[in-house]
Structure 1
Amino acid sequence: MTTTETTDAQEHDPDARGLRLVPVLLALTVVSGIVDAVSYLGLGHVFTANMTGNVVVLGFAAAGAPGFSAPHSLVSLGSFLLGAVVGGRLSRRHADGSRRTWTRVTLVAEAVLLGASAAVAFAAPGATGTVYTLIAVTAFAMGLRNATVQKLGVRDLTTTVLTMTLTGLAADSRLGGGAGTRSPRRTASLLAMLGGAVLGGWLVLHHGLGIPLLITALTSGVLAVTASGRE
């Protein structure tokens, strides 16, 4: 295909314009690491992006382990599920349209929700209501995004859960008897989550909750503007 033909194709296909989904989802994985650092370190040992961990935390709380809160975990789970319901409806509404539009709508919503969370964290950092508000809003945002990511179906990039990614990385590696052809993407996902957790943890410990939440909102906003529908 010539340069002119490529340009013409991009002009008629909105999904062909912008940043591909793979780097977008990797950036969102970093955001997830930051969000979970905020929630676990700053909101009472609860996860709002990683629901696998949150279910385990709920079990700890139910068993009476100190430092864990069943209400916090239940609010997180309920809000995440509500966000996923909304995300599922959005996915079906845009199923026959452009993936670019569908992705951008979700990321705009995520940016707004995380931005609102940052505003609350700056305005009333020590209030009891702030903790529940931040848990509910960030969990809702993550549920909304996860429903969209699941429907997009980009392999090895869930943006929040790494158990199956790590399993595939090991089982499909040359050491495990596989070809290892998908190892770079899986490794990138692992490093993105780790990097987000390190950054988020450092920011929470040294600067509170508002700044890391603001960073996540700005990142999601930039991705909303630049994302395409291409893998």
Structure 2
Amino acid sequence: MTATPAASPIKSTLPRLLLLLSATTGLVDAASVLGLGKVFTANMTGNVVFLGFAAAGTPGFKVVPAVMALLAFMVGAFGAGRLAGAHVDLPLRRWLLWAAVVEAALLWIAAAISTRIDIAAQAPEIAVLSVIVLTGFAMGLRNATVRSLKVPDLTTTVLTLTITGIAADQVGGRSPNFLRRFAAVLSIFLGAAVGATLLLHVGLAVPLILAGAIVLGATLLFARDPASAAPHRP
């Protein structure tokens, strides 16, 4: 009898991992937008829009935090590119575990620093900017890593094309990726709702601690899939 080949992680556990990571995007953006003075550190489209508001002098929006978030995100993405290049032809689990460890560590350091922040006063400024930089770097690392995986409809941070696909692909019949796309939207929604609730009732550090725990825990679970021992082939 011919042995059945191990399922590709793309078809089995990798999408589940990316859905859990999508939820952490909601957690991080809830922490940044509600706790760090109206700045996105996971969603750069929104952050560029906020930067435009700040550049126009709109009350409540600042240029420096938005610029710091953008720069940190880009540096994180650059680091992810180097990390991916170093893991060509190596086990997928090794690559993703390294990325998860770095991301979780950055989020937890940010959480520790955030305990010093007075959200209402947005002070001390150095603590606010430090958390922006750390979370921006972490999310840039994540976004570039997921981009390299090339899993359709699961970017973990951006939903515009996903929502477009939900509507546009209904023409002529139900989209085969409808459930995956809907799950991606729901994951970020739930992460944002939970993050906002935790921030408002417990504190700024808690959403970041939870996000780091989900990133690392979900990746460790993914690494148990025997198929993750193979190099990634998009």
Q: TM-score, normalised by structure 2?
A: 0.88
Gaps of 5+ in 2: 119-123
Q: Give the superposition deviation at 1:20.
A: 1.2
Find the partner of 2:99 among 94, 106, 109: 106
Whole-angstrom distance in 1 between the partners of 2:215 and 2:111: 13
Asked if 1:154 corresponds to 2:138, the answer is no
Whole-angstrom distance in 2 between the partners of 1:224 and 1:168: 27
Name 1:197's counterpart in structure 2.
192
Q: Give the superposition deviation at 1:179.
A: 3.6
Whole-angstrom distance in 2 between the partners of 1:119 and 1:80: 20
Name 2:24's counterpart in structure 1.
31
Name 2:51's counterpart in structure 1.
58
Gaps of 5+ in 1: none
Q: Which amino acid aligns with 1:90?
A: L
Whole-angstrom distance in 2 between the partners of 1:92 and 1:83: 14
Name 2:177's counterpart in structure 1.
182
Is the CA contact (8 Å cut-off) linking 1:105 and 1:224 kept in structure 2?
no
Structure 1 runs (4+) greater than 4 angstroms displaced: none
RMSD: 1.9
Whole-angstrom distance in 1 between the partners of 2:173 and 2:90: 37
Q: Which amino acid aligns with 1:160?
A: T
Whole-angstrom distance in 1 between the partners of 2:83 and 2:22: 21
Count of aligned pairs: 219
Q: Which amino acid aligns with 2:143?
A: N
Q: Give the superposition deviation at 1:178.
A: 4.3
- Written as runs of structure 1 = structure 2, the 5 A alignment for 1:207-226 is 207-226=202-221
Name 1:145's counterpart in structure 2.
142
Greater Cα offset, 90-99 or 132-141 = 90-99
Over residues 27-77 of structure 1, what are the superposed CA-to-partner deviations in whole Å (9 max), with x where a residue is unaligned? 000000010000000000000000000000000000110000110000000
Whole-angstrom distance in 1 between the partners of 2:144 and 2:29: 18
Q: TM-score, normalised by structure 1?
A: 0.89
Whole-angstrom distance in 2 between the partners of 1:190 and 1:224: 20
Name 1:125's counterpart in structure 2.
117
Name 1:115's counterpart in structure 2.
108
Q: Which amino acid aligns with 1:181?
A: P
Name 1:171's counterpart in structure 2.
168
Whole-angstrom distance in 2 between the partners of 1:189 and 1:158: 9
Is the CA contact (8 Å cut-off) linking 2:41 and 2:69 kept in structure 1?
yes
Whole-angstrom distance in 2 between the partners of 1:178 and 1:100: 36
Q: Which amino acid aligns with 1:71?
A: V
Whole-angstrom distance in 1 between the partners of 2:20 and 2:148: 18
